[in-house]
Amino acid sequence: MTSDRPPSKGSLSAVRSPEDQDAMDLAADWADIIQGLKKDLGQQLFAQWIRPIQLGAFAKDTGTLDLFLPTEFSANWVADRFADRLSLAWKIARSEVRQVRISVHPGRRQMPDLRLARDGAHDGIGPSGRRPANDPPGEEGRAIGLAMPDIGSGHGDTMGLASIGLDPSLTFPSFVTGTANVLAANAAQRMAAVEVPQFSPLYLKAATGQGKTHLMHAIGHAYLAAHPRARIFYCSAERFMVEFVQALRQNQMIEFKSRLRGFDLLLVDDIQFIIGKASAQEELLYTIDALLAEGKRLVFAADRAPQALDGVEQRLLSRLSMGLVADIAPADIDLRRSILESRLARFPSANVPADVIEFLARTINRNVREAVGGLNKLIAYAQLTGQPVSLQLAEEQLTDILSANRKRITIDEIQRTVCQFYRVDRTEMASKRRARAVVRPRQVAMYLAKVLTPRSYPEIGRKFGGRDHSTVIHAVRLIEDLRTRDADMDGDVRSRQRQLES
């Protein structure tokens, strides 16, 4: 006798084909992966770029998994920014996945994605061609990308030049200025203005993590706002090299040159990586000449001055330095503090004490990117574990970053610096004299020794003539109190601290 009841939930797998079961397992893995990406990337980036991804087929014989997006622009942008992250996530989820292939959905290839990248950017349109729900138009919500000129070539999708977009978070309003970067920031705003700038190209010179890439993206956003029909190309020098070699191999140099010289604004980052590539240097040189002759705008960025680019042809060096070379100096502690406070404002629910911000600004001084990364890590850890953000948590969770940044300041250096400032003899640091002109500098030196070195109170006391640890504790608390009540004292201590850290 047969039953009319449907199979129970536990018996469903018995009637599924192996292909159906594989598809469901794949979908389950994908659900886990996208949940992790949502936490890592945040709601805005996830909704704009990851949510539209459709899961394709998995070829077991090659280990290739297909992921589809609705437009060429979005597929290329995701491939450029998230390919490594997606590939790693899938390899962790299932070891048989050896390659993740990101492409346009086969049924969507006829979509006019190049025009979408240009025109849709100004309406808050996402990569699917529709405005995301609850995403009003505005600077932060724009899916601004590379705007390709209409040149009537059938090779637009194969060249890959429409693959890099502008990061929506890297704008002028989100760029914090200080004495270290004010020249570069002002020059960047001039380059993006409606008025024709007095200089071109603009060359931004800065060490890693000091904000040059942020300014390049900000120029692109502001220029696009001032020139709604503008055609913009942002890429790294390495990406330029890849596109150049690809065009050379595919015998598409005419199309490559036509597209490249049709842009209104050319932004090339990390130009130092074009070193030694003679043919690419020559092409870039001709492109610069062609764009300058038409009044177009060019911005380059590198970690060194043009004259320090070894292996670059002299004619190209001349073009790179013919406009304005704007240095971005390493951020001082005041600028690092301001940047961290600005970043903290994006997390209104996060409770980060002021002493933690001060600690990060003072301790992570190699580059701003590391300091911001440290703050992000602390906030994420606190939210995921429920622990409050504190100095102790910062020291525990940021060990690698802190050890890499911490300059080995010695008590001898502190004593020498303080004595020079207060004009007292170095021997007074260990003397028994109680004159105010000697005691106050000695207390300042003890305070700085505790703040800037890992030494204990007893160790510090021994460096100051064998004084008891209670004397050091008294000095530290006294200077802390004076800094809150005496602006001159606070300024003096801050200046000495900055001098020692620089």
What is the number of other CB atoms lying within 10 angstroms of the CB of residue 325? Answer: 20
How many Å is the Cα radius of gyration of the chain? 29
Look at the domain 333-405 and name its fold.
Helicase, Ruva Protein; domain 3 (1.10.8)
- The domain ranges of the chain are 18-108, 144-148+158-328, 333-405, 411-501
Report cis status (omega within 30 of 0) of the bond before 106: no
Residue 187 banded pLDDT, cuts 50, 70, 90: very high
Q: State pLDDT tens for residues 3-62.
A: 444 444 344 334 456 666 777 778 888 888 888 787 767 776 787 788 889 888 888 888
Look at the domain 411-501 and name its fold.
Chromosomal Replication Initiator Protein Dnaa; Chain: A; (1.10.1750)
Domain 144-148+158-328, CATH homologous superfamily name and number:
P-loop containing nucleotide triphosphate hydrolases (3.40.50.300)
pLDDT, the chain, mean: 79
Q: State pLDDT tens for residues 74-90.
A: 788 788 778 878 887 88
Query: With 70 as the cut, is the pLDDT of residue 471 above it?
Result: yes
CATH 3.30.300.180 fits 18-108, yes or no: yes
Write out 405-463 in H/E/C secondary structure.
Answer: HCCCCCHHHHHHHHHHHHCCCHHHHCCCCCCHHHHHHHHHHHHHHHHHCCCCHHHHHHH
pTM: 0.54
Q: State pLDDT tens for residues 98-144.
A: 889 998 877 544 333 332 233 333 333 333 333 333 333 333 322 22
Quick check: 446 and 464 in contact, CB under 8 A? yes
Mean pLDDT of all residues in 251-258:
87
pLDDT, position 242:
79
Secondary structure E strands in 185-296 = 202-206, 232-236, 265-269
Tell me which of 148-157, 187-196, 293-302 is least confident: 148-157
Mean pLDDT of all residues in 317-326:
93
Query: With 60 as the cut, is the pLDDT of residue 146 above it?
Result: no
Residue 222 banded pLDDT, cuts 50, 70, 90: very high
pLDDT, position 17:
63
The pair phi, psi for residue 469, each rounded to 5°, is -60, -30
Measured N-to-C along each axis, helices 368-385 and 354-363 cross at an angle, to the nearest 10 degrees, of: 140
